[in-house]
Each structure stands twice: as C-alpha cells, then as structure tokens.
Amino acid sequence: MKRYGIVLGAGMGTRMKSEVPKVLHEVMGKAMIEHVIGALETAGSQELIVVTGHKSELVEARLGDRAVYAKQEEQLGTAHAVQMADGALAGKPGMTMVTYGDDPLLTSETLELLFTKHENSGAKMTMLTNVVANPFGLGRIIRDASGEVARIVEQKDATPEELKTTEINTGIACYDNEVLFEALKLVGNDNAQGEYYLTDLVEIIKGMGHAVESVVIENVDGVLGVNDRVQLANNGRIMRERINKKHMENGVTLIDPLTTYIEADVVIGSDVVIEPNVYLKGNTVVEAGAFIGAGSDFENAKIGSGAQILASFVVDSEVGAHATVGPFAHLRAGAVVGAKSRIGNFVEIKKATLGEGVKAAHLAYMGDAEIGPRVNMSCGAIIANYDGKKKHKTVIGADAMIGSNVNLIAPVEIGEGAYVAAGSTVSKNVPAEALAIARAKQENKEGYAKRL
Ligand code: UD1
Ligand code: CA
C-alpha cells in the first residue's frame, strides 16, 4: 500500500523563547524536523507534506524539495493542521503517517512497525502510545473494558480519574488516507482549549464503523518531543547515546561515550579510537584505524585510515592516510594534508593542498598554497597570502626546504628541491635547486657589547 507522511510544524514553540521556529532547532547537528523527515523517508513514505505556519519560509528553505508544503495561517489545533494537507492528499488511496516536527527521536523502525501493523490489521487508524512515569500535559489513552482504545482525553479536558492514566498519546498515528480526510471534516472545537483536536479522530473513526488499533512503544525514550530547551538537551543526550552505541557496535572504541559527541551523519570506520571530549560534526568521515585524541573538533572533515589527530580543529578539510596532526593544529576551508605528512603544534593550514610526506612540525601558517611532496616548512615559516585587499597563491615544489622563520610573500613560486635560508623574506620566485637567502647580512662589531 502506498505510504504518505504528514509532519506538523506550524506551532510557534513559545516555550523555546526563540526567534527560530521550534522545528528548526537542532539535535546532534540536524534540525528536529530533518530527523523526522529522514525517519519517514526511510520508512518508505513517498509523498511528504509539511504543515508550516510560524516563519514558514525558514522551514521551507531548510527542507527544500524533500517535502511539499501546506501553510496553516492560523494555528487552530492539530486536526486543523492535518486538514491543511487536504489539497495534496485527500482521496488518494494508501496510508498516511501523521507525525510532529518536534519529535527528533522518532525512528524509522517505529514508523515501519506502525505502517506494518496498520496494513496487516485492516484498521483505519493505528496509533502509537507510550506508558510514561509523568504524563502531565499529555493526552491520556482511555481504553474500554475489552482493552480497546475508546478515546483520547487531553490534560485540560480530563477528569481527576482519567488523569491517573499513565498511557499517553504520542500524537503519532497511521491512517487510511481516504478515511482520514473524511473524518477530519467531522472534528469540532467544543473543548477546554477551543481547538480542533486530532485526538477526536479516535471516536469519529470508530463511529464510522472502522477499527482503531494501537501500538504501545516499548522504548520509553523513543518519542519524547521537545517543547523547551531543557527537553531539547534531553533529546540531544538520548540521540547521542544512540549514535555512540551504534558506532561502538560497529567496532569503534569510544574511551568515554559520555563525553563523545558524534552528529547523526558522521561515518566512522572500524578500529577507530576516540578519546574523551571529541566533537565530530556534519559530514565528517573517519576511516578505519584512525586515532582521534582528546579535545579534537571536526566539521565536514575527512580523516584517512591510520591518521592520528591530537587536540586539533579540522573544518571542511582532509587529512591523508597515516598522517599525524597536532596537538593544537587548525585545518580549515579546504586544507588537504597528504598521506604520511606530519603537521605539528600550532600549525594553521587554510585552503592549501599538501602532497605526501610534508613536514610542518611547529608554528607554521600555509594559506592559499600548493605544496609539493616532502616539503619541509620549518618552525615559524609562514605564507603571507594577503596583501590587505586580495589573497594570492603560493606554489612550493617537491622536496623544497623552507627554513625557520621564512616569510613567503604571495604570489610566489619556490622551485623543486630549492632551499630557502632561515629568516628570509622571499618575494621573488626561487628556481629549482637554488639556495635563496633574503635577509640582512650579519655584521659583528668587535668589543661593542661591553661599550653598550
Ligand atoms: C498533542 C496531542 C496530545 C499528545 C501530545 C504529544 C492533540 C489535541 N493533542 O498535544 O494528545 O499527548 O500532542 O506531544 O493533538 N501544531 C500545528 N498546528 C496547530 C497546532 C499544533 O502545526 O494548529 C503542531 C505543533 O507545531 C506541534 C504539534 O502540532 O508540532 C503538536 O502540537 P501541540 O500544541 O504541541 O500539541 P499538544 O498540546 O502537545
Ligand atoms: Ca507538544
């Protein structure tokens, strides 16, 4: 049966106290609604409708063509929100999963379970429920004598007796798509909040003579939802634990998972060892056998197999296989470090490509450069790439030796195998195999020290 998905994300998220729409707040590197959309896509939903309202343009800009958008101008309740998808979905055969954009922990496995149960049971609505210790604020599931779901009652409409129920409505449910949009027409707003409640569909669909089924989610942290920043942090912690567990199961050693932060899309090979206080972000890829030392922070980094990185920042950059980096190096904006290179303490590399076996063991800066294999950038050597207005390029040929404290003033080319003497300030090209000395000649004045 064809699968559709609706994601509600029109709410203001008042309790977030934010200029950013709630569903765009991030959990482990992705907006909450991106996690939900991803779970729906993985569970096979072919058409996704996102109901937007508050700052809809920001939500649409983030999700792009992964979804179709339906705008809810006024937030009159969850049933009203789902009705906004009428134009896109009404009358189409299939089943529709309704989810909330602020449930980042919802997994594709849970959605798959719901879709499958729904399809196999023949029910027209299959809801996901959860038994929680503190149900305050949530809709309670009221079952009849035979144990079937009779209705859902919201906190504000419930009797004291009903409030004792600890089985709650997660809000996530699968519907027969045609029945859904028929039933929505029958929802009223005669309740404590004067809203059109999606939860009324239980009684309405039963009233139409159809079966309503439920799945009780086992994993209690499965669907928590986020209303404020405390819950945002809690959802983040749970997601982090899940991500870390997955990597450990795949053969990655995390010395201390509690202080290891790996965002959702990071890829890590086997036998990688990660020390505490490491943050791996974005589309970072770490290949097999690499070692990531404490205090490292990577974003969109590609780390080759067997590389060793100590306490360094690597952003939008690559480190080749078996290279060593750090401690305290900063690679950014398209730095590419060749295999087996050695980048030591306090070295910064920006938009520069280094061949194999380059050494820059201490205190160097390489920006806007092409650096051949086995070049040695000695202590304190820098490339002066910026003239105050423009950046210029520097090329250093293979096997060149750049002495300590050299300034290479770009644009400049150093030929293969050339030798630039320590302390030189080089502004003219140096031919291959040449020795360049560009510094004031030393003069020794005998006996002067004492007189001074
Ligand atoms: C809802 C359920 C409640 C359930 C809880 C789980 C109803 C009436 N109640 O309550 O049973 O236990 O979720 O979290 O459905 N939204 C819109 N447009 C609207 C209203 C809401 O898009 O007009 C969106 C919100 O952005 C949010 C989601 O729907 O993502 C849920 O709305 P919210 O107001 O948080 O519902 P609850 O009162 O928490
Ligand atoms: Ca809510």
Q: What is the number of the ligand 1 atom nearest to the C-alpha of 198?
A: 15
End-to-end Cα, the chain, rounded Å? 95
Q: What is the pLDDT of residue 68?
A: 97
Angle at Cα 410 formed by Cα 409 and Cα 415, nearest 5°? Answer: 90
β pairing state of 336-337 and 324-325: unpaired
Q: Comparing C-alpha atoms, which of 207, 174, 205 is closest to residue 40?
A: 174
Q: What is the pLDDT of residue 225?
A: 84
Residue with CA closest to ligand 1 atom 25: 11
Entry pTM: 0.91
Listed as ranges, residues in the chain with pLDDT below 70 are 219-223
Tokens 């296989």, residue? Answer: 321
Q: What is the number of the ligand 1 atom nearest to the C-alpha of 227?
A: 35
Task: Enumerate residues 6+ apart whose C-beta is below 8 A from 225.
Answer: 100, 102, 103, 170, 171, 231
Write down the catalytic residue from 54, 322, 362, 392: 362
What is the Cα–Cα distance from 10 to 81, expressed in whole angstroms? 8
Q: Starting from the CA of residue 139, give the closest ligand.
A: 1
Cα(154) to ligand 2 centroid in Å equals 12
Q: Comparing C-alpha atoms, which of 206, 82, 224, 218 is closest to residue 149?
A: 206
Residue with CA closest to ligand 1 atom 11: 139
Q: What is the pLDDT of residue 12?
A: 81
Question: Peptide bond preceding 135: is omega within 30 degrees of 0, i.e. cis?
Answer: no
What is the token pair recorded at 349? 């590399």
Cα(102) to ligand 1 centroid in Å equals 10
Q: What is the pLDDT of residue 13?
A: 87
Q: What is the pLDDT of residue 223?
A: 65
Q: What is the pLDDT of residue 134?
A: 87
Ligand 1, pocket-test mutation among 100, 142, 149, most atoms within 8 A of CB = 100
Q: What is the pLDDT of residue 1?
A: 95
Q: What is the number of the ligand 1 atom nearest to the C-alpha of 169?
A: 12
Q: What is the number of the ligand 1 atom nearest to the C-alpha of 102?
A: 30
Q: What is the pLDDT of residue 330?
A: 98
Residues with CB under 6 A from ligand 1: 8-11, 51, 72, 75-78, 80-81, 100-102, 138-139, 152, 154, 168-171, 197-199, 225
Cα(92) to ligand 2 centroid in Å equals 28
User: Is 330 assigned a catalytic role?
Assistant: no
Q: Starting from the CA of residue 23, give the closest ligand.
A: 1
Q: Starting from the CA of residue 138, give the closest ligand.
A: 1
Q: What is the number of the ligand 1 atom nearest to the C-alpha of 138?
A: 12
Cα(173) to ligand 2 centroid in Å equals 15
Residue with CA closest to ligand 1 atom 37: 138
Q: Comparing C-alpha atoms, which of 68, 13, 3 is closest to residue 229?
A: 13
Cα(224) to ligand 1 centroid in Å equals 13
* Cβ count near 37 (within 10 Å): 25
Tokens 């004031």, residue? Answer: 440
Ligand 1, pocket-test mutation among 78, 155, 167, most atoms within 8 A of CB = 78
| DSSP tag of 411 | S
